[in-house]
Structure 1
């Protein structure tokens, strides 16, 4: 987004040239969760060693599987990927869902954002989660670093608004309402608290 003054939302993943983007403090986190097809009956992350794992091309999960993920100051360090697991990149999460729903999927595991997997399971897709989230990717607003001086007032306004929404609990409530979890913070043990158990 060089040359643009528009803010962008995304995970605070280290860019090839970090001077291109300037991130505000994270306002949320995107937990990447592994799931397995019910047909295979796997019950642990370790059992995905040497297996194919469906994930979205260009997403956080793919970088994690390929060993190229470089998060900026992660609250929790990412877990180790299953040994010799092979990524099966697809265009969208819906592609993983469709193949799992049809049966005989060409993969044993699926890696995606936890709320996405929860939604698929709720819709009847024959997958089940294994283990806890493997990555808690910070989500924040980024600005063109080269335009930071010119956009100082805009950056300050966005930062002030996000801070206010965080401090008064608005973001947490909206996260619980729409995602099923309070994803504005990373639990100390890395285990997300479902909405039914989370404080309002």
Structure 2
């Protein structure tokens, strides 16, 4: 090869290397950058948690959290794509970029904050006991010494075991005396067990909105007592992934606007028949 040819070859290799380096450096380094680059927002949610979120037979999603997620996407200027991993996989962190955020009525707790970053709350729900009609129980005292069902990895299970901590110093009270616990993959599996005619446990602890949804569906249960605590619920992002700082700043602005312009209150009235967007009982 001539000297000129060798020089041209070296130049070509240099240009190629520079191009590859430029491509590498253009990869998103933040969560906001990834969303903007992908031109979509991938949201994890629960496919079986009505009226918050539900995957319908036609493949579409509906519910309060679905409306919230779609509105966030709209205000970010990107469409929303939903995915439905197990709840325990969401709360454990380490998502590996499989989805961008969780909009799934997740409570902000100190334990979860070790692996997840949270937005400001977009609503607050009361935790409510229910009992199967088969049990004949109608009061909280009636649940003493009974078996209580809750979803795996939920704040309800943590509260029943005395480990729930929102980081506010608030006294969250105690369960009825002597209760034992059992867990199923999701909250609604507890009610579905009663629906199937199996009564291995007498009580159920979940969100008041989920209890009301089960009652509206005609499931064999009754709400028992007053709410036992209120949960601050937020959007979550994975701390082990790309930097979430700029995304959360933008998201918190969107949530503040949705509170201020009544969007969140409207969604709450639509799905729950009351406004759960305030931090005190409605």
TM-score after normalising by structure 1: 0.80
The structural deviation recorded for 1:147 is 7.2
Which residue is 2:179 aligned to? Answer: 85
| Cα distance change, pair 121–11 in 1 and its aligned pair in 2 (3 A) | same
Kindly indicate whether the alpha-carbon contact (under 8 Å) linking 1:77 and 1:135 is maintained by their aligned counterparts in 2.
Answer: no
Q: Residues 130-177 of structure 1: CA distance to partner in whole angstroms, max 9, x if unpaired? A: 1122121111123455779x5443222111110000011110110110
How many residue pairs get aligned? The number is 186
Q: Residues 35-91 of structure 1: CA distance to partner in whole angstroms, max 9, x if unpaired? A: 1112222221122111001111111111111111111327x6423111111111112
| Cα distance change, pair 145–99 in 1 and its aligned pair in 2 (3 A) | closer
Gaps of 5+ in 2: 1-92
- Equivalent position to 1:11, from 88, 107, 119: 107
1:185 is paired with a residue whose SS is coil
TM-score after normalising by structure 2: 0.59
Whichever structure has more helix as a proportion of its residues is 2
Q: Find out whether 1:106 has 2:229 as its counterpart.
A: no
For residues 28 and 95 of structure 1, what CA distance do their matches in structure 2 show? 24
The structural deviation recorded for 1:102 is 3.6
Q: Find out whether 1:31 has 2:126 as its counterpart.
A: yes
- Equivalent position to 2:149, from 44, 50, 54: 54
- Equivalent position to 2:226, from 128, 132, 135: 132
